[in-house]
Structure 1
Amino acid sequence: MLTFSIFAVLIGLLAINVPVVAAIGLTSVIFFALLGQGSFLAMLPHRMYFGTTGFTLLAIPFFILAGNLMNTGGITRRIFRFAGAMVGHIPGGLGQVNIVASVIFSGMSGSAVADAAGLGQIEHKAMVDDGYDPVVSASLVAASSVIGPVIPPSIPFVLYGAITGVSVARLFMAGFLPGIIMSLGMMAALAVLAKRRNYPCSACRTPAREAWASFRGAFWALMAPVIIIGGIMTGFFTPTEASVAVCIYAAILGFAYRDLKLRDLPGILFASLHQSVSLLFIIAAANFFGWLIIHQKIPDKIIAGLVALGASQAHVLLIMMAVVLLLGCFIEGNAIFLITLPIFMPVAKIFGIDLINFGVVMTLLIMIGNLTPPVGMCLFAVDSYAKVGILPLSREVLPYLAVIFAVTLLIAFVPGIALFLPRLVMGGM
């Protein structure tokens, strides 16, 4: 009953448009007061501070900054041109280019919203100019943007690792194959739709000379994922240090390409600061909420209930997935991590669910939430410039949502797919 009451109050506050951070904080304060434990509120500043001081969390503002530097520094345009030379001729044309460009960009920023807001604008304009319906174009941009946090590096993986203590490097490795499978699934779905609806595409392959020129133009941008992942795999730097390295690399490339100017830096830094503070403030409030959950022994009560019902690992996994999918319709993805993981982690351990694979599954579920109204962050990011309306965009994105959901189920119940690379490259487990 207490568990239900806590989440009823939290969802009720969110339903009346109370900001996420305020809803999380107020719920914690209300229940500590109602339970006669008001003295614990003296720990609020300490718990909020403690929640944002982990070394791993330093990676978040740096990956945000890296994405903003790339969007301003001309890197995204070069990636899009190279992707066009590679796949612009297959059914779906620029739609396929959109997906491949997002795969490449995902190896640098780790943020779905950064992809949707930056590279997405270039992709959307190019597709509309090529004859695509604006809604179709916008749906592809939104769907492909969620590839970013699955293929490493990934801000959600950093957050998950910081909360659970799971190796971020292993999470990065675990996300690679699911991300590629998701991308191939989207490309297949697009190819089918392209033939049915006669989407425009290039009649012939890009000439070899032009393809080579696009590769040369994008070469140093394409090296960014190699440097990040290669450095982490070889132990040259940690994921947190990798986030700093990619910022420096993106800035150097931006100035070298002469697309990034000194006068651009204050705006980029301020935007990155604003995004980082917004996310870290939620993390701070959620840490206090997590303390409430643990203090009231809610995970223990849930575990006892599930055991009493004779639930299997598959049943528990499906229940947790359903909860995240439901919350994803109403709450921003990072907040879902922070609200649910203090409850889910003990349950997952008791029922033998691999925490690395569970991190990938949780991230995929969060990506589905980014594409579902009324709080689909990627839908809003794309509609901010596409101006096609959230409801038409939501309908058009459904085929790609089906692909992501199918991949999520596959990864959830065939964990060997996600765990293959961590075991191969890093051993153990």
Structure 2
Amino acid sequence: MTLALQLIGSFGIFLVLLAAGMAVPFAIAVPGVIYLLMQNGLVALKGIGLVTWGSMNSFTLTAIPLFVLMAELMQRSGLSFRIYRGLAKIVSRLPGGLLQTNIVGCALFASISGSSVATAASIGGVALPQLVQRQYDRRLSAGSLAAGGTLGILLPPSIAMIIYGSFTETSVAKLFMAGVIPGVVLTLMFMAYIAVRAQWGGVVPRHHAVNAESWLSALADVVPFALLIGAIIGSIYAGWATPTEAASGGCLFAFLLCLIWGDLTWTSFKEAMHRTVQICGNLLFIIYAAYIYAYAIGVAGVGESVTAWLVGLHLSHFEFFAALFVLYTVLGCLVESIGMIVITVPLIYPVLSSYGIDPIWFGVILVMYVELGQISPPIGINLFVIQSIWDGELSDVVMGTIPFHIIMFVLLFILTLFPQLALWLPSQMQ
């Protein structure tokens, strides 16, 4: 049996276990262990101990629980409602009304949480009841929230970029900065689409004018969070702090905001801590399982074989990107986002140098693919997050996201033509 057939077999086992309902970490680890046994028998398992310590003893990965805790504190204390309330007043005069608030709110909260699921759940839980009550177009409402939530893994801080950086030993700080301009551009493209749809009529009700007092109240709701975001991103960009150090400082700042502006009680604090442990336990278990799988294919020499095979095909840059596009589009419909990263990066990353592809730029492209996966049926997680907090049909959520899919494809094309859109900001870092 060739290495290629063994790899296909192990990946097939992963998909079968996933379809059978097995938890993602086990569905990744089991094929990895089987693959190790197929290669060198029980002797191959001796290296798992070193892999366990070497992979999880990572300063970079400690940023994940800190960013997750920051988002949970703000959600449990009700500050996500204040963000949405303030933005609703500020952008009320834009075509699209509260639908524009969905996108801006998701972008702002994404810059705090680093998680698409947390962003979609936090803003969606606040926004959907108001949108339904005010008779906004249901499909566009749900689609804007599901798609807006994906900004959580493109705008810094991004948990997906932390994981990519830990696997490829790429600077997480530069990855964060690489996501800023594409993230802002994608936000503006989403807002432009909503503005155009609003001009057609029938999707947005009329709004009342906002007076000066309301503007001041809105600024009081939004400015503290703008300062929090500026402190995190600014300290990383200036080189004053690593992502982990910025996360710890941001966590303390967020805690103070929750005490002063929010409704943080001892009970809600314990709930936030408990939820953070649950989320991080799941994420880090997936990462650990992926390292076992990566170790297995490394022992077998699959990475070198795949690299040689792909290079031997003599694909052009366009054909290579087209192949990646097809791969991640299919995976996005079957595997959740973190699974996509941890399964494919060990195989694809060694090939990048053969095509002269910058790993930082590719990290942004990969995150874009993951974003698409999070709103792709049948298991796009953001679709189910939005479905769980409203009374509409899942089909309405899916149909509402289709225009945002197209917009994201357009941005991917732009990034391919103009890679400096992602690379310019990291190149300016100290």
Fold match (TM-score > 0.5): yes
Aligned to 2:111: 107
Contact 1:51 1:284 in 2 (8 A): yes
Q: Residues 217 and 15 of structure 1: is their aligned pair in 2 closer, same or farther, counting only changes over 3 Å?
A: closer
Q: Does 1:11 align with 2:11?
A: no
Letter in 1 for 2:194: L
Q: Does 1:194 align with 2:228?
A: no
Give 3-state SS (helix, strand or coil) of 1:237's partner.
coil
* Cα displacement (A) at 1:265: 1.2
Q: Does 1:318 align with 2:343?
A: no
Give 3-state SS (helix, strand or coil) of 1:148's partner.
helix
Deviations 1:21-71 (A, max 9, x none): 111111012222223433112333442343222100000011111111111
* Cα displacement (A) at 1:364: 0.8
* Cα displacement (A) at 1:213: 2.1
Aligned to 1:85: 89
Give 3-state SS (helix, strand or coil) of 2:286's partner.
helix
Give 3-state SS (helix, strand or coil) of 1:108's partner.
helix
Q: Does 1:246 align with 2:255?
A: no
Contact 1:313 1:352 in 2 (8 A): no
* Cα displacement (A) at 1:319: 1.6
Aligned to 2:230: 226
Q: Residues 352 and 127 of structure 1: is their aligned pair in 2 closer, same or farther, counting only changes over 3 Å?
A: same
Aligned to 1:2: 6
- The sequence identity of aligned pairs, in percent, is 31
Contact 1:59 1:243 in 2 (8 A): yes
Deviations 1:155-202 (A, max 9, x none): 111111111111111111110111111111111221222233522244
Aligned to 1:412: 416
Query: Aligned match of 2:125 in 100, 121, 125?
Result: 121
CA distance in 2, matches of 1:123, 1:322: 34
CA distance in 1, matches of 2:414, 2:11: 29
Q: Does 1:73 align with 2:80?
A: no
Q: Does 1:361 align with 2:365?
A: yes
Give 3-state SS (helix, strand or coil) of 1:88's partner.
coil
CA distance in 2, matches of 1:195, 1:107: 29
Aligned to 1:383: 387
Letter in 1 for 2:230: V
Aligned to 2:266: 262
Letter in 1 for 2:426: P
* Cα displacement (A) at 1:398: 0.4
Query: Aligned match of 2:297 in 277, 281, 293?
Result: 293
Query: Aligned match of 2:288 in 273, 284, 289?
Result: 284
Aligned to 1:336: 340
Query: Which runs of no fewer than 5 residues in structure 2 stay unpaired?
Result: none
Aligned to 1:137: 141
Query: Aligned match of 1:38 in 23, 39, 42?
Result: 42
Deviations 1:116-161 (A, max 9, x none): 1112211112211221244432221111111121111111111111
Structure 1 segments of 4 or more deviating over 6 A?
none
TM-score (norm 2): 0.95
* Cα displacement (A) at 1:297: 1.8
Query: Which runs of no fewer than 5 residues in structure 1 stay unpaired?
Result: none
CA distance in 1, matches of 2:253, 2:335: 34
What is the aligned residue count? Answer: 426
Contact 2:63 2:247 in 1 (8 A): yes
Question: Which stretch has the larger CA shift, 267-276 or 66-75?
Answer: 66-75
